C-alpha cells in the first residue's frame, strides 16, 4: 500500500510541475528534485513487492518510505490549497498577498529539504543494515518462499467440466510410448487451470505415472525458480515413495534434497533430468505465455519412450504449436445453463432461486460473458447482499453501465464492483494481497499476523485480533475475491491466493 501512496503523491506532483510551473518560481528545482526522488522510491517499492523473500529491514524501509510519502503529500496539499486561494483573489488582493505567497514558497522549500534529508537517511540506513543472505537458505527462509501455483475454483463449485475432462484425458491417453504434449487453450478466466487441476487430481490419471509435478509458469517467468519447483516436486514424490517401502528411516522421511538456489540453470536442468530419467512422468505447465518459456523448460524433460505426458495451459495458440502439440483442446465458454447453474449454486448455496430474482440473475449472468471467474466474483457480491429485488436492481445498474466495454475487460469490471461493495473494514485487507505476486500461495497464519501488524484488525473486548482477522478472511473467501490453496487436516484454511 505504500506503493499506492507514493504513486498518488507522484501523480499530484507531476501535475503540479506540468501545470503550475509559474507559481513554483524559486522552488521549481527543489520540487523537480523531490519528484525524481519519489520516482526512485516508487521503483524500489515495486521491486519489494516482487521480492519473494522480503526481509524485515526492507519492511521497515517500506514503512519509512510510506511516512515520507505522507509528508510529501502534506506539502503538496498545502501548496495547492494556497494556489487555489491565490487564484480566487482579485488583482489588487493578489498583489497585497504576494508577500504571503513568497513566505509560503520559502516554507515549501524548507520542508522539501527536510524530506530529502530523511530520504537520504533511509537509504543510508538500508545500505548500512542490509546484508546478503547466505545462498543456502534456512528452513525458515524456505518456508517464506511463496510458491507459485495457479488457483482453481474450489472442487464443490466446478460446473460444466465433465465433458471437457473426458476429452482432455482421451488426448492424454493417445500417442503411444513417445512423450506427448497436450495443450488446453482459452482466454483468461475461462477455467483452464480449474480443468487442468481436476484432471491432475483424478486418481486413475495420477496412478498411470511414476512421478508427477505441477508448476505455475506465468508471464512473470523465472527459469531457475521454475526448475527448482519441478525438482522439489519430483524429489518429494521420490521420498514419499521410498517411505512406503521402508518402515523405518533414519532421516525420518525428510526429502533428501539440497534446498540450494546456488545451482545454475543448467545444473538444475541436469538434476530434473536425472530425477525423471527412465520414468513415466506427468508434468502440468500452467499458464505459459511465451514460446521461449517452453524452450527453457522442455529440455529438462526427456523423451525416454516411457509414454510421459506434459499438459500445458495457455491463452496462446502460438505456445501450443511451438511445443509441437498437435493435441489441442480449445476450452469453450460455459453454456447459458452451465453459467446459471454455477451462479445460482454459489449465491443460494444449493437452495432454490426465488422467482422474483431469476430474471435479474440471468441478466447479470449474461453480463459476465459466461466466464467462470467473473461469475464467481459477481456471485460473491450477491451472496453477501440481501436477497431482494431492490438490492439486486442496484447491482445490475452498475454492471449494465459497462456493457459497452470489450469482453476481455469484464473480469476487471466485476472485480472493481466487488471491491466497491466491500465494507470499509475489509478493503485494506483485500488490497494487502497486492503486496504479493498474483497466484502466490500465502500462509494464512503469516497473512493474519501481517494484517494485525499493519493495524487493519480491531479486536473487541471479548475477541482477540487474530480471531477477528480470521473472520475477515472468511468473508473475503465467501465473496470469491480470494481462494483457498490448501486446507489443514481439520478443514481450516492453510494457504490463500488471489487472482
Q: What DSSP line would sit under 95-153, residue for residue?
A: HHTHHHHHHHHHHHHHHHHHHHHHHHHHHHHHHHH--PPPSS--HHHHHHS--B-----
CA dihedral 292, 294, 300, 305 (to 10 degrees): -140
CA dihedral 441, 443, 449, 454 (to 10 degrees): 0
Averaged pLDDT, groups of 10, the chain, 499 residues long: 59 59 56 67 63 56 71 69 60 50 68 74 64 37 31 46 91 89 85 89 87 85 85 71 50 47 81 91 90 89 92 86 84 86 84 89 83 78 85 78 46 66 84 77 87 86 91 81 59 52
The predicted pLDDT at position 132 comes to 41
User: The pTM is what?
Assistant: 0.53
CA gap 420, 396 in Å, rounded: 14
Domain match, 319 and 305 both = yes
CA gap 117, 111 in Å, rounded: 10
Domain match, 59 and 33 both = yes
Residue 142 lies in a domain: no
Residue 161 lies in a domain: yes
Question: The cell 461469475 sits on which residue?
Answer: 375
Domain match, 309 and 438 both = no
Residue 149 lies in a domain: no
The secondary element (H helix, E strand) that includes residue 327 is: strand 327-330
Domain match, 194 and 308 both = yes
The predicted pLDDT at position 142 comes to 31
Alpha helices in 155-305 (DSSP H): 162-173, 192-200, 203-206, 223-245, 265-276, 291-298
CATH number, position 174: 3.40.50.300
CA gap 457, 253 in Å, rounded: 39
Domain match, 461 and 376 both = yes
- Torsion sign over Cα 237, 240, 244, 250: positive
CA dihedral 48, 130, 52, 414 (to 10 degrees): -20
Domain match, 415 and 461 both = yes
Q: Which residues are bridge partners to 498 per DSSP? A: 482
Cell numbers linked to 404: 459497452
Residue 139 lies in a domain: no
Inter-helix orientation angle 355-367/372-383, to 10°:
140
Q: Which of 308, 330, 352 is a domain's end point? A: 330
CA gap 24, 27 in Å, rounded: 5
CA distances from 348 to 155, 232, 336, 383 (A): 17, 41, 18, 7
CA gap 208, 229 in Å, rounded: 22
Q: Give the residue numbers spanning the domain of 460.
A: 336-498
Query: SS3 of 323, please?
Result: coil
Nearest Cα neighbor of 191 from 159, 163, 167, 145 is: 159
Question: The cell 491565490 sits on which residue?
Answer: 86
CA gap 200, 411 in Å, rounded: 26
Q: Which of 330, 356, 389 is a domain's end point? A: 330
Structural domains in the chain (count): 3
Inter-helix orientation angle 410-420/389-400, to 10°:
140
CA gap 349, 392 in Å, rounded: 17
> Where does residue 390 rank: exposed (0-12), middle (13-18), buried (19+ CB within 10 A)?
exposed
The predicted pLDDT at position 380 comes to 77
The secondary element (H helix, E strand) that includes residue 211 is: strand 211-216
Amino acid at each position: 500500500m505504500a506503493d499506492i501512496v507514493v504513486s498518488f503523491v507522484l501523480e499530484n506532483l507531476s501535475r503540479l510541475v506540468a501545470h503550475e510551473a509559474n507559481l513554483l518560481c524559486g522552488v521549481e528545482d527543489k520540487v523537480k528534485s523531490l519528484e525524481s526522488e519519489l520516482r526512485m522510491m516508487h521503483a524500489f517499492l515495486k521491486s519489494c513487492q516482487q521480492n519473494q523473500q522480503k526481509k524485515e529491514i526492507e519492511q521497515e524501509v517500506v514503512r519509512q518510505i510510506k511516512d515520507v510519502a505522507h509528508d510529501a503529500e502534506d506539502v503538496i496539499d498545502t501548496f495547492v490549497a494556497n494556489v487555489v486561494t491565490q487564484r480566487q483573489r482579485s488583482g489588487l488582493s493578489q498583489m497585497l498577498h504576494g508577500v504571503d505567497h513568497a513566505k509560503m514558497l520559502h516554507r515549501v522549500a524548507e520542508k522539501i529539504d527536510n524530506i530529502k534529508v530523511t530520504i537520504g537517511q533511509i537509504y543510508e540506513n538500508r545500505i548500512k543494515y542490509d546484508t546478503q543472505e547466505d545462498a543456502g537458505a534456512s528452513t525458515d527462509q524456505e518456508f517464506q518462499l511463496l510458491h507459485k501455483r495457479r488457483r482453481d475454483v474450489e472442487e464443490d463449485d466446478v460446473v460444466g467440466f465433465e465433458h471437457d475432462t473426458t476429452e482432455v484425458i482421451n488426448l492424454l491417453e493417445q500417442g503411444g510410448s513417445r512423450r506427448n504434449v497436450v495443450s488446453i487453450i482459452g482466454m483468461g478466466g475461462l477455467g483452464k487451470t480449474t480443468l487442468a487441476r481436476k484432471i491432475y487430481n483424478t486418481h486413475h490419471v495420477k496412478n498411470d505415472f511414476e512421478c508427477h509435478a505441477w508448476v505455475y509458469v506465468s508471464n512473470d517467468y523465472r527459469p531457475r525458480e521454475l526448475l527448482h519447483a519441478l525438482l522439489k516436486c519430483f524429489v518429494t514424490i521420490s521420498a514419499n515413495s521410498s517411505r512406503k517401502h521402508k518402515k523405518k528411516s533414519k532421516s525420518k522421511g525428510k526429502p533428501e534434497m539440497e534446498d540450494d538456489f546456488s545451482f545454475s540453470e543448467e545444473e538444475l536442468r541436469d538434476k530434473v533430468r536425472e530425477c525423471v530419467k527412465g520414468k513415466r512422468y506427468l508434468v502440468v505447465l500452467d499458464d505459459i505465455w511465451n514460446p521461449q518459456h517452453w524452450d527453457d523448460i522442455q529440455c529438462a524433460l526427456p523423451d525416454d519412450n516411457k509414454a510421459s505426458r506434459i499438459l500445458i495451459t495457455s491463452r496462446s495458440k502460438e505456445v501450443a504449436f511451438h511445443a509441437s502439440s498437435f493435441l489441442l483442446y480449445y476450452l469453450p465458454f460455459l453454456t447459458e445453463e452451465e453459467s446459471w447453474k454455477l451462479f445460482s449454486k454459489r449465491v443460494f448455496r444449493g437452495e432454490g432461486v426465488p422467482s422474483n430474482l431469476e430474471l435479474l440473475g440471468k441478466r447479470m449472468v449474461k453480463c459476465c460473458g459466461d466466464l467462470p471467474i467473473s461469475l464467481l466474483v459477481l456471485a460473491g457480491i450477491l451472496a453477501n447482499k440481501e436477497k431482494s429485488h431492490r438490492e439486486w436492481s442496484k447491482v445490475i445498474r452498475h454492471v449494465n453501465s459497462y456493457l459497452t466495454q470489450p469482453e476481455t475487460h469484464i473480469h476487471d469490471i466485476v472485480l472493481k464492483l466487488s471491491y466497491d461493495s466491500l465494507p470499509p473494514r475489509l478493503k485494506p485487507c483485500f488490497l494487502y494481497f497486492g503486496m504479493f505476486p498474483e497466484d502466490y500461495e500465502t500462509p494464512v497464519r503469516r497473512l493474519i499476523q501481517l494484517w494485525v501488524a499493519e493495524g487493519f484488525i480491531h479486536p473487541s473486548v471479548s475477541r482477540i485480533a487474530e480471531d477477528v482477522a480470521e473472520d475477515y478472511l472468511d468473508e473475503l473467501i465467501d465473496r470469491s475475491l480470494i481462494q483457498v490453496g490448501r486446507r489443514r487436516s481439520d478443514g481450516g484454511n492453510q494457504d490463500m491466493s488471489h487472482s
